[in-house]
Chains A and B, each alone.
Chain A
Amino acid sequence: MADWRPAAAPETLRRRAALLAEIRGFFARRGVVEVEPPTLGPPAMDPALESLAVDGVPPDGGRRWLQTSPEYAMKRLLAAGSGDIYALGPAWRGGEYGRWHRPEFTLLEWYRVGFDHHRLMDEVAELAAVVCGPRPVERISYREAFLAHAGVDPLAAVEADLAAAVARAGLSLGGVAVEERDTLLDLLLSHVVGPALGHVAATFLHGFPASQAALARLDDDDPRTARRFELFLDGLEIANGYHELTDAAAQRRRFEAERTERHGSGLPVYEADEALLAALEAGIPDCAGVALGVDRLVAVALGARSLAEVRLE
């Protein structure tokens, strides 16, 4: 007989529903408006994200992509004068499956006009406290965290230094050697540094290397770093936020760089989302935004050890 019973227990799903209601209440009290961006739209440019395509979509019967996040649509809304907004709903990422990854998951994304990344970190901490209960909050720079947990300065190190740190951590690569600087940093972050964070406090990792700025602006005080942060709870990456890049020309250059990288890696190369670029040219207000993995936050709140325990599938 087919295995029909969901892995997540009904009682767990009731508790999850109560936490989602807490999240909506949190934003309602602060005057942040819920919006529902279309989940079918343009693909993500980021070479590390795989967009899943849907064909035959009216009115033109053409191809659309399931959103990897509602970011592009929400930035267009910000340019249109929406003010503070949040979206809570499904997002999709191809090629991701594991204990803490699903191709379909629930994402909470919000934007705060006039906030910088530090002020948004305060708010993320307050939301995490509402869902998971209070814990101390700490901020540690990407550089400090790598020095403390991997014994290497991620801003100054050359590739050989990073490879040595990988070997010191006891990591053994099964396939081809990793030589690219950012891949070595990702390897250390995902295997060594990240798992060490967020065990006694809610830990914000901030000041990512400029090469990993994504959609964050660079830090004026230290242009080697970007105004990007991540929240870690119990060694798990929960949220990723930016003091948003609002410069249309800079955004166009980043898209172009991502297209080149996609081409070089044999990935599908997409046209830049002109609607987003036009919105940035029209001007989006100075703001900070963050995307938060709701399933993981719920898992931490309920003490679950995998996503399968806390989401219906």
Chain B
Amino acid sequence: MATYSTNEFKGGLKIMLDGDPYTIVENEFVKPGKGQAFNRVKVRNLKTGRVIDKTFKSGESVEAADVIETELQYLYTDGEFYHFMDPSTFEQKSAPQAAVGDNAKWLKEQDLCTVVLWNGEPLSVEPPNFVELKVVETDPGVRGDTSGGGGKPAKLETGAVVRVPLFIEEGEMLRVDTRKGEYVSRAKE
């Protein structure tokens, strides 16, 4: 079992607490001038996203979490699981809906996603920061209006709905920022 001592604590370190994997967000060394030293950390639960405070006696060891970040290609969903493939080894992984969550609406076949694996199983899935998706449903475009002011909703091929300028038409490919959920531009064909 790999462990980390508190003096190895730093932001980004992955540790096990109460059976769940956590990442250290912030580490503060606290010590009275004469007395016991402590490490006070903010940690984020990698399953739930919840951030909590924990205090350790300095010098203690904590179990390391077997958590790695990989780039996997999205293949398809069978409605229950989302299937991914490692493009170099062709090894496949399936992520449950809980791991994908709200990000499902950005997943497009062939796109490379950031998948966090815990003990080899997907824990969370992040889509690329920018994706190119086709408009499948939107009100008819208004010719001559290229200002982008106002805008209208457009439904994309993956099911996501974003606000787009009035001139965008059904069937067009758009570049979208997945972190903000915003239209960026028309995709260059």
Contact = CB atoms under 8 A, between A and B. Distances in A.
Contacts of A171: 53, 55
Contacts of A212: 34-35
A172 B59 CA distance: 17
B58 interface: yes
A189 B32 CA distance: 7
A291 B7 CA distance: 26
A15 B125 CA distance: 50
Interface size class of B (residues with CB under 8 A): 20 to 34
A95 interface: yes
A278 B156 CA distance: 85
Interface string B1-41: 00000010000000001000000000111111111111011
A46 B43 CA distance: 32
Nearest to A180: B36
Contact of B57 (A97, A178, A182): A178
Contact of A98 (B29, B35, B53, B56): B29
Give chain B's interface secondary structure class: strand
Interface in B36-81: 36-38, 40-41, 43, 52-62
Nearest to B61: A175
Contacts of A186: 32, 35-36, 38
Nearest to B33: A240
A244 to B, nearest CB: 14
Contacts of A182: 35-36
A158 B44 CA distance: 34
A95 B27 CA distance: 15
Given A96-B37, A174-B54, A190 B32 contact: yes
Interface of A: 46, 48-49, 95-101, 170-176, 178, 182-183, 185-187, 189-191, 194, 212, 214, 230, 237, 240, 291, 293
The 4 closest A-B pairs by CB, nearest first: A98-B29, A174-B54, A186-B35, A175-B60
